[in-house]
Amino acid sequence: MTLTVFDGLGDVPFYNEDIDTDADLPEAAARLRTAAERANAFLLVTPEYNGTMPAVLKNAIDWLSRPYQAGAMTDKPVAVVGTALGQYGGVWAHDEARKAAKIAGGSVLDAVTLDIPGSLNRFADNHPYTDIEVAERLTKVIDMLRAAA
């Protein structure tokens, strides 16, 4: 299994049907769609902003939800994980992302969860990959995603 990080969500303009045309499609949105088309599964990793997912993630899901019923997420496994400052570890953001990804056509793995609270303290001095519990749980998430794919 190969994990590819899409490092460009912040460059994608807000979704607008008027520019979702062959002539006007923004280059960053096209790159996102191409990367998503190549993927067999999606691991969405997100913090929580004001009780939901950050707009940049919702925007990416919106772009991937079109063409309607033929977007690049259609029928592919999607898992959502992350960490946030609060005591629930971003569970609202993750639930909202699952809901949106499902409506966008993704085959969302609702039972696969990883919501790590207290991000600022827990990862103040350590990267998550050096945190044994996080590394083990994330490995299980990826195994489940691979099995679904």
Which chain residues interact with ligand FMN by CB under 6 A?
47-51, 84-86, 90, 119-120
Min dist. Cβ of residue 61 to ligand FMN (A): 18
Closest alpha carbon to 129 in 45, 32, 8: 45
Return d(Cα 13, Cα 27) in angstroms, integer. 10
* Of residues 16 and 130, the one with the C-beta less far from ligand FMN: 130
* Of residues 8 and 86, the one with the C-beta less far from ligand FMN: 86
Min dist. Cβ of residue 86 to ligand FMN (A): 3
Min dist. Cβ of residue 119 to ligand FMN (A): 4
- Which residue's beta carbon is nearest to the bound ligand FMN? 86
Min dist. Cβ of residue 92 to ligand FMN (A): 7
* Of residues 90 and 106, the one with the C-beta less far from ligand FMN: 90
Min dist. Cβ of residue 118 to ligand FMN (A): 9
Long-range pairs, 105-108, Cβ under 8 A, ≥24? 105/65, 105/69, 105/71, 105/73, 105/74, 105/75, 106/42, 106/73, 106/74, 106/75, 106/76, 106/77, 106/78, 107/75, 107/76, 107/77, 107/78, 107/148, 108/77, 108/78, 108/79, 108/80
* Of residues 116 and 141, the one with the C-beta less far from ligand FMN: 116
Q: What are the tokens at 112?
A: 């696969």
* Of residues 11 and 27, the one with the C-beta less far from ligand FMN: 11
